[in-house]
Copies of this chain bind each other. A is one copy, B any other.
Amino acid sequence: MKAVAVTPGLQVEDPRSFQDTERTVPIPGDRDLLVKIEAISVNPIDTKVRRRSPKTPSGSDVIGWDAAGTVVAIGKGVSHFTLGDHVYYAGSIQRPGANAEYHLVDERIAARMPQSLSFAEAAALPLTALTAWETLFHNFQLPLGLDSLDRTVLVGASAGGVGSMALQLARVLTNAQLIGTASRQESSAWAKSMGAHHVVDHRSSLIDQVHEVAPDGVTDIISSQATDLHFSEYAELLAPRGKITILDSPTSVNILELKGKSVSLHWENVFTRPVHQTSDMKVQGRILEDVARLVDSGLVRTTLRQEIAGINAANLRTAHEVLESGTQIGKLVLTGF
């Protein structure tokens, strides 16, 4: 089968960073689906793993999480899927990735994709939807409906992949007040279209801007990038017993800034459940089923913004370049081999 391999540790400008290659089709293990990949999307974790030297978490040089495709074989013990199913999922960082014609995924972390979407539109969703869902409903424990009327969520970099899904899910399922951050006119407009009640400019100080729309501060913050830069502002803005979820890897935050208000700091690592094979691992498949229902009923839409035909080394290099520029709005998807 065709596959795109990476050489970990190289800059994206280096033409050796991606290579088109041929690999053996993998054989499904217990509870595995073998999926013919139709579309993949790229996320910051891809560029992070590619840049990380000398090896990937899985040991494989084929990376990529976030896929949509067709089930073409199933392993022993698979009970939830059958051949021909169209599925979407984020997979596990400790297994070879989805940048290949055929790919294995544990059925517990996959779901049938929304029927109303193309493969490309579906591939944009799983990793960011899972991250947003686990952040909002597992970390923040936002109550559904009117019970969240007293909550205000600040979504950093809200036009990005996770931000776009967090805004949509929170807007549809809760009554929390939603404040996004963005810098450009275009990203601000996108964040509002995704559900933000207000968008503030993260190039300026956030304190006054946020207090203008949320005088008592915010109860919950999602920080997906530049956490080091904004942490002190976040600490000041958070309400007593508030919560912050961090998605990047800050190195200089002072956690004592959270002590006076008993604020809690949460990580959201979408791979925690599959990597540690937790007993509640199938929660992720169920979340993706719920998201599919929300999409098919018209309440949530795909965050696909840019589609590139052809999953190959050249196009993946382009995709990583776009992602590393930090200006991506919504999601970028590659389709077909």
A residues with CB within 8 A of B: 134, 138-139, 141, 240-241, 246, 249-251, 253, 255-256, 258-269, 272-273, 275-276, 278
Copies in the complex: 2
Determine the chain B residues whose CB is within 8 A of the CB of A262 once the complex forms: 134, 266-269, 272
Determine the chain B residues whose CB is within 8 A of the CB of A273 once the complex forms: 240-241
Determine the chain B residues whose CB is within 8 A of the CB of A272 once the complex forms: 240-241, 260-262
B276, A269: Cβ atoms under 8 Å? no
Report the nearest B residue to A138, measured CB to CB: B241
A265, B268: Cβ atoms under 8 Å? no
Determine the chain B residues whose CB is within 8 A of the CB of A268 once the complex forms: 262
Supplied contacts A240-B272, A255-B255, 9 more A-B pairs, CB within 8 Å: A240-B273, A259-B267, A260-B269, A260-B275, A261-B269, A261-B272, A262-B272, A263-B267, A264-B265
Minimal beta-carbon separation of A68 from chain B (angstroms): 25
Determine the chain B residues whose CB is within 8 A of the CB of A259 once the complex forms: 246, 249, 267, 269
A259 to B248 Cα, complex, angstroms: 9
Determine the chain B residues whose CB is within 8 A of the CB of A246 once the complex forms: 259
